[in-house]
Amino acid sequence: MNNKIRNKKEFGDFQTPDYFAIQVCEKLKNIGINADSIIEPTCGVGAFVIASRKIFPDAEIFGYEINKDYVEILDNKLSSIGNTNIHIKQSDFFLRTGKRISPR
C-alpha cells in the first residue's frame, strides 16, 4: 500500500463538499445560533472554515489540521477572501489537551 493511501486510511481523509458546509452553517443560523467563536478541529482544505466565515462573518474562527499540504491550500484560499478573524494552525487538535486555543 503506498503512503498516500495509507495516510488517507489512517487519518480518515474526507473533505466536506463546500455546498454541504454552507447548508450546515445556514441551518445553524436559521435555528437561532449566532456564533461568537468557532473551532474546526480537523479543517482539511477549509470547507467549514470558509462557510463559517460567510455565514458568521463576525465570529473568531480557529481551524486545526495535521496535514501540512491542506494547511497551505487553505492559507491560499483565505488570502483571496481575507482572513481576518480566522486562525489556522498546523497541529493535531486532539493532542492539545490542556493547551489554550489561540491564534498561531
Three cell numbers written together for 4: 498516500
Can you tell me the mean pLDDT for 9-37?
90
Tell me the domains of the chain and their CATH numbers. 37-104 (3.40.50.150)
Q: What is the pTM of this model?
A: 0.80
Percent of the chain with pLDDT over 90: 71
Asked if 56 and 34 count as a contact pair (C-beta separation under 8 A), the reply is yes
**Closest C-alpha among 16, 42, 45 to residue 95:** 42
Q: Is the pLDDT of residue 4 over 60?
A: no
Measured CA to CA, the distance from residue 20 to residue 78 in angstroms comes to: 19
